[in-house]
Structure 1
Amino acid sequence: MNRRIGILISGRGSNMMALVERADGYDVALVASDKPDAPGLAWAKSRGIATFALSPKGIGKAGYEAQIDAALREAGVEIIALAGYMRLLSDDFVARWRGRIVNIHPSLLPRYKGLDTHARAIAAGDAVAGCSVHVVTEELDGGAVLGQAEVPIEPGDTPEILAARVLAAEHALYPRVLKEFVANERPNPA
């Protein structure tokens, strides 16, 4: 039986689209966003996927996370995949979903945690960049790495050019790693 996942996005949702289109071993039960106008929500709706959107403005982080948590549980979500979700989750939220949240990050972790990963890799003179899928913990980009893909840094690359190549690698890596993760992750009802 397929596992039910929820995907959190903040924008166009290109990684969410890759997860939906290459779903194997899991069903996308809900796509949720902190931005009600996120373009990825319309795409998910057009595919018949349930969506949830709520801005945290005016309700605070705890109130916002309580509502997103309730929506995920109501949809029967077992595992959360962050796909371009640009908010930091609270320690309490991570603890409630311990070991059941994964994220795609645009660097070869543990290098370049946080933002501006492509510019940092180019500035360091690295020969390769890439992406990592990891388990989300309370430490920013600090959980166990489940899979990585390398992308060469070419002479003359800008952060934007490198970002486009890394994004293509993310679209291939994330569905494969999520399939492996859901197959190996034991059910843990909340």
Structure 2
Amino acid sequence: MKRVVVLISGAGRNLQALVDAERDGRLPRCLAGVISSRADAAGLQRASAAGLPAQVITPGVFADRAAFDAALVRQIDAWRADWVVLAGFMRILTPGFTAHYAGRLLNIHPSLLPRHPGLRTHAAVRAAGDTQHGATVHFVTEALDGGPRIIQGALMVRPEDTDETLAERVMVDVEQRIYPQAVAWAVNGRLAVQGAHVAALDGQALHQPLSLDDLEAGF
């Protein structure tokens, strides 16, 4: 059985979506541990409630990013992770870290990449006057939010939307659906990277990311 370690920094709502998917059988039993970059992250309570081992590794106690990432690697590898899943992990990872887990490191980003990489995406969508918004699951490379895209979910931006309402709608209607699906594909051996720049599902290159229409029953 494949083993997944989840990295968080905050509320852990995508972690909870994975826990729920594992509990109801949509996701095989695979969650092996949780690492938080913050000791006060509410997601740690979710990990505890799910019976998952959890560790706090805070960057402030390390001399530099490389030393912090090395500590992450030691814990992840101690848990024998096959896949590493970033779920609101608010740290930029070093090239050494992304290379160590190349092809088995996933992230979910709250925008329709390649539009709006980085932070404050909901505000960026409104400022740009975009009619659509959403989230993207992608493989992680050293390029910030630039790895091969796997699946996106989109929704229409409403005139009355605020940053907060957009964030909530994207989380509930998109993120918590597409991330468990992508992780299920990964641990079931169906997801990979072809070459350096293209994700593949069941051996078929994804030159464009999949969509909500490609979700399997239950997701």
TM range (shorter): over 0.9
Deviation string for 1:125-146 (max 9, x for gaps)?
2111000000000000001111
Measure how far apart 1:28 and its partner are.
0.6
2-structure distance, mates of 1:58, 1:5: 26
Deviation string for 1:82-118 (max 9, x for gaps)?
0000000000000111111100000001111111111
Counterpart of 2:151 in structure 1: which amino acid? G
Where structure 2 has 5 or more consecutive residues not aligned to the other structure, the ranges are 193-219
Q: Which residue in 1 is equivalent to 2:2?
A: 3
Q: Which residue in 2 is equivalent to 1:91?
A: 95
Kept in 1, the 8 Å contact 2:19–2:50? The answer is no
Measure how far apart 1:58 and its partner are.
2.9
1:96-107 matched pairs, under 5 angstroms? 96-107=100-111
Identify which of structures 1 and 2 has the higher relative contact order when contacts are C-alpha pairs closer than 8 Å and 6+ apart.
Answer: 1
Measure how far apart 1:157 and its partner are.
1.0
Which of 175, 180, 205 aligns to 1:175? It is 180
Question: Mean alpha-carbon deviation: is it higher for 52-61 or for 109-118?
Answer: 52-61
Measure how far apart 1:76 and its partner are.
1.2
Measure how far apart 1:151 and its partner are.
1.3
Which of 32, 54, 57 aligns to 1:29? It is 32
Measure how far apart 1:66 and its partner are.
1.3
Question: Mean alpha-carbon deviation: is it higher for 107-116 or for 18-27?
Answer: 18-27
Q: Which residue in 1 is equivalent to 2:202?
A: none
2-structure distance, mates of 1:8, 1:133: 15
Measure how far apart 1:43 and its partner are.
1.6
Counterpart of 2:131 in structure 1: which amino acid? A
2-structure distance, mates of 1:42, 1:102: 22
Q: How many residues align?
A: 185
Q: TM-score, normalised by structure 2?
A: 0.81
1-structure distance, mates of 2:69, 2:97: 7
Identity within the alignment, %: 39
Q: Which residue in 2 is equivalent to 1:19?
A: 18
Kept in 1, the 8 Å contact 2:30–2:187? The answer is no
1:1-190 matched pairs, under 5 angstroms? 2-23=1-22, 24-59=27-62, 60-168=64-172, 169-183=174-188, 184-185=190-191
Where structure 1 has 5 or more consecutive residues not aligned to the other structure, the ranges are none
Counterpart of 2:7 in structure 1: which amino acid? L
1-structure distance, mates of 2:67, 2:90: 17
Structure 1 residue runs of 4+, over 3 Å off?
A: none
Question: Mean alpha-carbon deviation: is it higher for 121-130 or for 86-95?
Answer: 121-130
Measure how far apart 1:181 and its partner are.
2.4
Kept in 2, the 8 Å contact 1:5–1:80? The answer is yes
